[in-house]
């Protein structure tokens, strides 16, 4: 792997990690909102 490819790989990994973090945060927020909504419902 050349230096350029390694840098591109690292950048992709970083992008994927950020995407995963955003997705998990959104999921956590959604589950929190669902819980609140259900508590109000019942």
Partner 1 sequence: MSDLSPSLNNAGGEETASPRLLSADFSEARDWIALLKPRVMSLVVFSGFIGLLVAPGHLHPVLAFTAVLCIAIAAGACGAINMWYDRDIDAIMRRTRNRPIPAGRIEPSAALGYGIVLAIGSVLLMGVALNVTAAGVLALSIAFYVFVYTMWLKRRTPQNIVIGGAAGAFPPLVGWAAVTGSLDVMPLVMFAIIFIWTPPHFWSLALFANDDYRRAGVPMLPVVAGGKETRRQIVIYTLLLVPLTLVPWLLGFSGPVYAIAAGVLGAGFLISVWRVATDRQDATGVSLTNDAPARAAFRFSIAYLFILFGALAIDHCVSRFI
Q: Is 22 in the site for partner 1 (CB under 8 A)?
A: no
Measure CA 14 to chain center.
12
Least gap, CB of 40 to partner 1 (angstroms): 7
Q: Is 20 in the site for partner 1 (CB under 8 A)?
A: no
Least gap, CB of 41 to partner 1 (angstroms): 6
Q: How far apart are CA 27 and CA 15, in angstroms?
A: 18
Q: Is 38 in the site for partner 1 (CB under 8 A)?
A: yes
Q: Is 41 in the site for partner 1 (CB under 8 A)?
A: yes
- Cβ(1)–Cβ(9) below 8 Å: yes
Residue with tokens 């992008």: 15
């Amino acid at each position: 792997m050349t230096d350029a490819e390694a840098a591109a790989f690292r950048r992709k990994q970083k992008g994927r990690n950020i995407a995963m973090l955003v997705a998990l945060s959104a999921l956590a927020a959604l589950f929190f909102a669902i819980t609140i909504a259900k508590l109000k419902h019942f």
